[in-house]
Chain A
Amino acid sequence: MNIVVCIKQVPDTFEVKIDPETKRIVREGVESIINPYDNYAIEEAVRLKERFGGTVTAISMGPPQAEKALRDAIAMGVDDGVLLCDMKFAGSDTLATSYILSCGIKKIGNFDVIVCGRETLDGSTGQVGPEIAHHLNIPYVTYVSKIKNISSGVMECVRLMEDHYEELKVHLPVLITVVKEINQPRIPSLKGMLKAKKAQINIWKSDNIEGEISSYGQDGSPTRVVDVWTEHMKKEGRKVEGETDKLVEELATELKKLGVL
């Protein structure tokens, strides 16, 4: 079985900083990690390989430093890494991103299952997975929480909904996006880590894939960001000191004033 896992490198922070000019995420000075949801995708891809045999290829679109994310994926058991990296890809919205990724996946070819995380930490759209499936003209299942079996070209899986689970059967090839209930991502092994350090990551530029250049990057992105801002939470604090009895009284008065009590 040939499995492709799509991953993204994101800044390791909950407090995403936005460049006020370009409205894009500021990546400088922030450590980069694999998008946390993608770790579940990697783990599930590796588990599928362990259950049903085959190979796992991780693919990502991003700047040259995103190679690190692919190495981390290899440390977890992925066989190969492909980085789609070209200035022509810069400024892609979800539509262009999914298009470029689908071109990369076509080049990898001969895939049975594509695994994605449910969404990214920085963008949180959850659109890229389904859009890749659209470009590839294959079925997709979002929010998968369990893969029960794959046999005779059919995957049986469970899908996590708001207040219930759905059980589905779907023909391969298929794209799934996974939720964190699906597994517990493994810690890399020594062997995996050393393999990752020495691995050759395939860097594919726009010339290496077959796609419409006009569908890449900003040209291929109908999304227009009007404004993005970081919500500032206001925190206040006051320290009160003294005898316990008086303090209790003071605190109670203060809390009543604030409408808490």
Chain B
Amino acid sequence: MIVKTGKEEILTYLEDASNFREGSAERLYIPDDEGDLISILTDCAKNNIPVTISSGGTGTVGGRVPREGVILSMERFNRIINIDKNEKTSTLQAGVVIKDFLDLIEKEGLFYPPFPTERTAFIGGNVATNASGEYSFRFGPTRRYVKKIRMILTNGDTLEIKRGCLYEKNGVIDYGMFKVPLPSYRTPPVKCSAGYFSQEGMDGIDLIIGSEGTLGVITEVKVSLIDALPPRFIVIVFLRDEEGIPFIVKEIKKMCGDALFSLEFFDSGSLEFLKNDFPAIPENTCAIYVESVSNTEEMERWLDIAERYNAVDTWLAEDRKNYEKLIDFRHRLPENINAYFKKIGIVKVAMDIAVGEDSFPEMYGFYRDMMKKEKIHSILFGHIGENHLHFNLFPASDEEKIRAKEIYEICVRKAISLGGTVAAEHGIGKIKHKWLEIMYGREGLKEMAGIKKIFDPYCILGLDNIFPKALLK
């Protein structure tokens, strides 16, 4: 085990990909094995020292950033224990880096469907945040692929949960060593990564997935895999009709839903952020970006779509070089936006709202009206196939900053009224408590705190993630 106390040595662990800058810790532990882990946790429990779990640091809501206490880095839990080609599963330690895992299973002709965009993330972090990925339109987020979790609780006990073994019954999930009541709120049936999962008859493992490091320390997971993906192409269709997008997307889903791996949207303002890198982007257009199974029939279908909706231009990547160029097109936008937020020196105002299929046109129209009505520079882009767009605002003055927060709340309330979520993929962490409270009410947050106390009676783990620690008193 490595222990570090020097300020500079800990520094990089005090941040993640968010702009959350309140990190502070007295010590960093890098345990080698579960034995180390148990002794750290029991010691901290005895001395009432807060513990924050640290994974790859790619999160965007400050989940791994501690306000106090010690950091527990899982980087040495980096062993891929096995890959079962027949069963198409893999068991691996929580600190395995996604890229290493993807590379290894690729050699075996297998694929990990959650396919997180941040390849330096850890698998444990993926499970703890129910991470989404590049193909979540087709495959959904991490949850579906987690078959087993092994975790250490703050009292030093080990909890192993297999999918399909314990279910909620009569309002209770019985984990053997304790019983947990099902919260009264329900996780909406949309792409959602907001607070503890709650559904009637739910599998006990689903409470752990997406619990953001507040219930126990995940040390090992077993995930299901699929066969390597078939060849794919990417097509970007540049369109003028920004208002008609929800209708066009609906038609696209109807026509080629089964062939699609991702279905993304960039409004005209988003494309402006990409013009330095891709000067050929046509003026005054928005874009639909898809990745599809590659064959001539699908290509012809897309030409048909492009012609039907008067596309200004189309870009098609079939070979490796152009494919990489267009993957870069997709990844570059969030990077350029983050760089811009940094340049103008403001904290990100970026929404992560998703709603159901039927409500999406209304939500989209709501964003569009807001963009026309308000003076603040804003853009709209993201995972339109999952009814999940990121509405970003760039306030230029103090007044606009205040207004941007108000707009955020107005959008959150609209989404909730439509049965949506405030956090579709980024989670809650330390920066979205307010929105989660609007979604589930104070009572909902208290119920989550109650569940946490059952798993972690010492109340030391992942404090201030999901809900304020004050609720634990």
In the assembled complex, A72 has its CB within 8 A of some CB on chain B? yes
- Bound together, the chains give a CA A244 to CA B303 distance in angstroms of 59
Instruction: Convert B274-288 into 0s and 1s, putting 1 for each residue whose CB lies closer than 8 angstroms to a CB of A.
Output: 000001100000000
Q: Report the separation of the CA atoms of residues A83 and B34 in the bound assembly, to the nearest whole angstrom.
A: 64
Contact check, A193 vs B321: say whether CB atoms are below 8 A apart. no
Residues in A with CB closer than 8 Å to B279 are 184
**Pick from A184, A190, A197, A244: contact of B280, CB under 8 Å:** A184
CA distance A199 to B9 in the complex (A): 61
Of B9, B296, B313, B321, the residue contacting A197 (CB under 8 A) is B296
Is B166 an interface position by the 8 A CB rule? no
Which residues on B sit within 8 Å (CB–CB) of A197? 296, 299
B9 touches A244 (CB 8 A): yes
Asked if B296 contacts A190 (CB within 8 A), the reply is no
A193-B318 in contact given A187-B325, A244-B9 (Cβ < 8 Å): yes
Q: Are B316 and A193 in contact (CB under 8 A)?
A: yes
Contacts of B173 on A, CB cut-off 8 Å? none
Please name all residues of chain A whose beta carbon is closer than 8 Å to the beta carbon of B280 when the two chains form the complex. 184, 186-187
B residues near A244, Cβ cutoff 8 Å: 4, 6, 9
Task: List B residues 312-332 near A (Cβ within 8 Å).
Answer: 313-322, 325-326
Q: Does B302 contact A (CB under 8 A)?
A: yes
Which residue of B296, B300, B321 contacts A33 across the interface (Cβ within 8 Å)?
A: B321
A187 x B299 contact (CB < 8 A): no
Docked pose: A33 CA to B302 CA in angstroms: 25
Give a binary string over B257-292; 1 marks a CB under 8 Å from any A CB, 0 the rest: 000000000000000000000011000000000000
Name which residue of chain B comes closest to A245, CB basis.
B6
**Residue of B with least CB distance to A186:** B280
Check B9–A187 contact: CB distance below 8 A: no
**B319–A191 touching, CB < 8 Å:** no
Residues of B within 8 A of A72 (CB): 319
With A184-B280, A197-B296 as known contacts, state yes or no: A33 contacts B316, CB within 8 Å.
no
The interface residues of chain A lying within 8 Å CB-to-CB of B320 are 12, 31
Beta-carbon contact of B299 and A190 below 8 Å: yes
User: Are A194 and B303 in contact, CB atoms less than 8 angstroms apart?
Assistant: yes
| Bound complex: CA A187 to CA B302 (Å) | 16
Q: Mark B322-361, 1 if CB is under 8 A from A, else 0.
A: 1001100000000000000000000000000000000000
**Residue of A187, A191, A193 contacting most chain B CB atoms (<10 Å):** A187
Residues of A within 8 Å of B422, CB to CB, are: none
Measured between C-beta atoms, what is the minimum distance from B292 to chain A in Å?
11
Number of A-B contacts (CB under 8 A): 48
Which residue of B has the minimal Cβ distance to A31?
Answer: B320
Q: Do the beta carbons of B319 and A187 come within 8 Å of each other?
A: no
A188 within 8 Å of B (CB atoms): yes
Find out whether the CB atom of B316 lies under 8 angstroms from the CB atom of A190.
yes
If A72-B319, A184-B280 touch, whether A189 touches B313 (CB-CB below 8 Å) is yes
* Cα of A123 to Cα of B280 in the assembled complex, Å: 31
Chain B residues touching A, range: 20 to 34
Interface digits, A218-251 against B, CB 8 Å rule (1 contact, 0 not)?
0000000000000000000000000010000000
Decide yes or no: A189 and B321 within 8 Å by CB, A194-B299, A194-B303 being known contacts: no
A12 to B279, CA, bound (A): 26
Distance of A204 Cα from B209 Cα, bound (Å) = 63
Chain A residue, CB-CB nearest to B235: A190
In the assembled complex, the Cα of A33 lies from the Cα of B6 at a distance in Å of: 51
- The contact size tier of chain A is 10 to 19
B226: Cβ under 8 A from any A Cβ = no
Q: Which residues of A contact B159 (CB under 8 A)?
A: none
Q: Please give the distance in Å from A66's CB to the nearest CB on chain B.
A: 15
Instruction: Check: B306 CB closer than 8 A to any chain A CB.
Output: yes
Q: In the complex the two chains form, what is the Cα distance from A189 to B316 in whole Å?
A: 5
Q: In the complex, which residues of chain B have a beta carbon less than 8 angstroms from the beta carbon of A187?
A: 280, 315-317, 322, 325-326
How far apart are A39's CB and chain B's nearest CB, in angstroms? 9
Do the beta carbons of B296 and A188 come within 8 Å of each other?
Answer: no
Q: Which of B4, B300, B315 interacts with A189 by CB under 8 Å? A: B315
Find out whether the CB atom of B322 lies under 8 angstroms from the CB atom of A194: no
**A51-92 contact mask (Cβ, 8 Å, vs B): 1 or 0:** 000000000000000000000100100000000000000000
**Whole-angstrom distance between the Cβ of B97 and the nearest chain A Cβ:** 17
Q: Mark each residue of chain B from 226 to 265: 1 if its CB lies under 8 Å from any CB of chain A, else 0.
A: 0000000001000000000000000000000000000000
Give residues 31-51 of A contacting B (CB, 8 Å): 31, 33
Chain A residues with CB under 8 Å of B303's CB are: 190-191, 194
> A168-187 toward B: CB 8 Å interface, digit per residue (1/0)?
00000000000000001011
Q: Is the CB of A188 within 8 A of B321?
A: no
Give bound CA distance, A188 to B314, whole Å.
8
B189 to chain A, nearest CB (A): 35
Residues on the A chain within 8 Å of B302, using CB: 190
- Does A191 contact B314, Cβ atoms closer than 8 Å? yes
Tell me, rounded to whole Å, the shortest Cβ–Cβ distance linking B329 to chain A.
9
B306 (CB) vs chain A CBs: closest residue: A190
B198-236 CB mask vs A (1 if < 8 Å, else 0) is 000000000000000000000000000000000000010
Binary per-residue interface labels of chain B (5-28) against chain A in the complex, 1 for a CB within 8 Å, 0 otherwise: 010010000000000000000000
Known: A187-B325, A190-B303. 13 other contacts (CB 8 A): A31-B320, A72-B319, A75-B316, A187-B315, A187-B316, A187-B326, A188-B322, A189-B313, A189-B314, A189-B315, A190-B302, A190-B316, A194-B299
Q: B residues bordering A, Cβ < 8 Å?
A: 4, 6, 9, 235, 279-280, 296, 299-300, 302-303, 306, 313-322, 325-326
Tell me the A residues contacting B by CB distance below 8 Å: 12, 31, 33, 72, 75, 184, 186-194, 197, 244
Would you list the 3 A-B pairs with minimal beta carbon distance, nearest first? A187-B315, A190-B314, A190-B303
Q: List 14 A-B contacts (CB under 8 A).
A: A31-B320, A72-B319, A187-B280, A187-B316, A187-B317, A188-B318, A189-B313, A190-B303, A190-B306, A191-B303, A191-B314, A194-B299, A244-B6, A244-B9
